[in-house]
Amino acid sequence: MFTRRKILGAGALGAATFALPRMAFAAEKADVVIIGAGLSGLHSAELLRDLGMRVLILEASDRVGGRVQTVQTVDGPIDVGASQIGRSYARVLDACQRYGLKLVSEDRDLLSFGGHIKDTWIDPKTWESNPLNRTVGDERKINPILMGQAVTAKFNPLKEVDDWLDPRFSGYDTSLRELMKRNGYSEAAIELAAFSAPGIGIDETSMLRMWQEETRGGVDRRTGQSPVQHARDHPFGEANDHNMIDGLASTNNIVGGCQQLPLAMAAKLGDAIRLGRKVARIEMTDSGATVTCADGSAVSARFVISAVPFSVLRRVEIVAGRDNPLQRQAISAMPYANTARMYLTAEKPFWKEDGLPPSFSTDGPIGMFWAIDNHTGEGRHRAMVVMVGLVAQAIAKMEHAEAEAFIQNEIVRLRPAAKGLLRLATYKDWMRDPNQLGCGFSLAPGQVNGFARTMTDPWQVMHFAGEHTRRLDFGMESAMESGERVAVEIGARA
């Protein structure tokens, strides 16, 4: 990782003289114009300003943070986007320290999980002998709600966090279904994996993309090993290790919500940020660019940083002096995963009445219900309905109010004891957010070999940042990683 000292040591930038494309003299001027005020755009702006560059950030929405968003509810602040900070998140931890933000151990331990498959409740502990279990051999022992994750982990050949981009592993740029077929899994096992596959789905996500995240996650699991180890019993991984090592649990949150971080970064940048500026056109040559917004305003700059998801950038007209077919393909074709979450309060633990597991995963239309431990076992409990992958894409086709009603009705259909006991705190569907159009990048089978290895390369004077341009990290740290990378790239060219 580059340190701020190393970046600043790359060389101070003086006033640059450069040729600008058409409209330059009618536009506001900057050294660098950044599209998007998420963590990556804000972090690159911080570093470039430290180099002495004039930076302007154009943000389409009325807030900063991108997919870091905290919603104020009657139950307190709720992070509906990025929220988890691991012990290995060096850049995020450094930023929190610089801005005086306090971290606390995440209080989101999930109560025990069950499964609801083919409209039948199943106990994972007795699944091996369940008559619904049509898998064969050793497959029968695998928890059905973890089939996709179990197969993914079993065959992961990657040892280093950047191995997923190594051409040595190019033969694995295939789907989970294909991997399972190659290794002789039964059709019943493949069917179970389809509703628990990491990524978008069993056919829609490259194994290299799945393994990138799993391999990087292993770094967090190995960072600050403690005597307490937690077995995975639900599709979203392990329980938080609350043992404090150097003042940190394995998973931490920012007091007041994680949006406190981009807000602090934005306050430092001041009037460099322009909210409500939706970019419509980027026109560039080898020596400069003009970025025009939907409201007719424009900025001319020596460099452009696109720090918005490709799902958003593909709606922007890009006029280039030299075309880049692979980059255009990445922008236009790279899929985006979705996460939709409903945040609820259960007025009392209705699972004690129906005798079913508090939390559950289902092959139906609402994915997972998480009941969160309140550490007393009685009274109110926080809960979430978590929809990912194809389930989340399907729910995103509904209007907001329709989706809310559908989800709550489906919970009550599955768990009649929950009727009248669920209170909505907030709901967020990232696919329906017009400034994000998804929750995280993915790569379809064949796309790592097709363009992923080069899609972060600069295109003329445009550089690419954001979580979707991750190379080594994931989560909030990958956004900060990418902001650092583009700052170094531009510093070296200026």
End-to-end CA distance of the chain: give it in Å, rounded.
Answer: 21
Handedness of CA 105, 108, 112, 113 (dihedral sign): negative
**Percentage of the chain modeled with pLDDT above 70:** 92
The predicted pLDDT at position 222 comes to 66
**What is the mean predicted confidence (pLDDT) over 255-268?**
98
Nearest of 85, 81, 169, 94 to residue 473 by alpha carbon: 85
Given the DSSP bridges, would you call strands 70-73 and 55-59 parallel, antiparallel or unpaired?
unpaired
Domain 339-437 class in CATH: alpha beta
According to the model, what pLDDT value does residue 326 have?
Answer: 95
pLDDT surpassing 50 at residue 25: no
Query: Topology of domain 4-66+258-333+443-493, per CATH?
Result: FAD/NAD(P)-binding domain (3.50.50)
Question: What percent of the chain lies above the pLDDT cut of 90?
Answer: 87
pLDDT at position 4 over 80:
no
Specify the pLDDT at position 21: 44
| Model confidence band, residue 26 (pLDDT cutoffs 50, 70, 90) | low
Has residue 403 got a pLDDT over 50? yes
pLDDT at 22: 43
pLDDT exceeds 90 at position 19: no
Q: How confident is the model at residue 223 (pLDDT cuts 50, 70, 90)?
A: low
If pLDDT is split at 50, 70 and 90, which confidence band does 360 have?
very high
- In this predicted structure, the answer to whether residue 5 has a pLDDT above a threshold of 70 is no
Q: SS3 letters for 480-494?
A: HHHHHHHHHHHHHHC
pLDDT recorded at residue 242: 85
Mean pLDDT within 352-357: 96
Residues 278, 285: contact at Cβ < 8 Å?
no
Q: Is the pLDDT of residue 186 over 90?
A: yes
Least confident stretch, 21-35, 46-60, 88-102, 168-182: 21-35
DSSP 8-state secondary structure symbol assigned to residue 141: G
pLDDT band at 417 (very low <50, low <70, confident <90, very high): very high
Q: What is the mean pLDDT of the chain?
A: 92
Q: In the prediction, which pLDDT does 188 show?
A: 97
Looking up tokens 């390369």 gives: 457
Residue 478 has pLDDT above 50, yes or no: yes
- What would you report as the CA-atom Rg of the chain, rounded to the nearest whole angstrom? 23
pTM of the model: 0.92
pLDDT digits (tens, 9 = 90+) for 62-83: 999 999 999 999 989 999 999 9
Q: Average the pLDDT over 219-239 and give the result.
A: 61
> Residue 221 above 80 pLDDT?
no
Mean pLDDT, residues 83-95 taken together: 96
pLDDT at residue 331 tops 70: yes
Burial class (CB in 10 A: 0-12, 13-18, 19+), 182: exposed
pLDDT band at 243 (very low <50, low <70, confident <90, very high): confident
DSSP 128: G
Instruction: Please state, in angstroms and rounded to a whole number, the distance separating the CA atoms of residues 383 and 108.
Output: 9
pLDDT band at 7, cuts 50/70/90? very low
Distances (CA, A) of 435 to 45, 167, 318: 20, 34, 18
What is each CA distance from 283 to 18, 291, 302, in whole angstroms? 15, 6, 12
Fold match between domain 4-66+258-333+443-493 and domain 339-437: no
Q: How confident is the model at residue 333 (pLDDT cuts 50, 70, 90)?
A: very high
pLDDT at 229 over 90: no
- Ordered by start, the domain boundaries in the chain are 4-66+258-333+443-493, 130-239, 339-437
φ, ψ of residue 113 to 5 degrees: the values are -105, 145
pLDDT band at 8 (very low <50, low <70, confident <90, very high): very low
**386, HSE (Cβ side, Cα atoms, 13 Å):** 18
What per-residue confidence (pLDDT) applies to 16?
Answer: 36
Q: Is the pLDDT of residue 24 over 60?
A: no
Please tell me the distance from the alpha carbon of residue 361 to that of residue 358, in angstroms, as a whole number.
10
Mean pLDDT of 404-425: 97
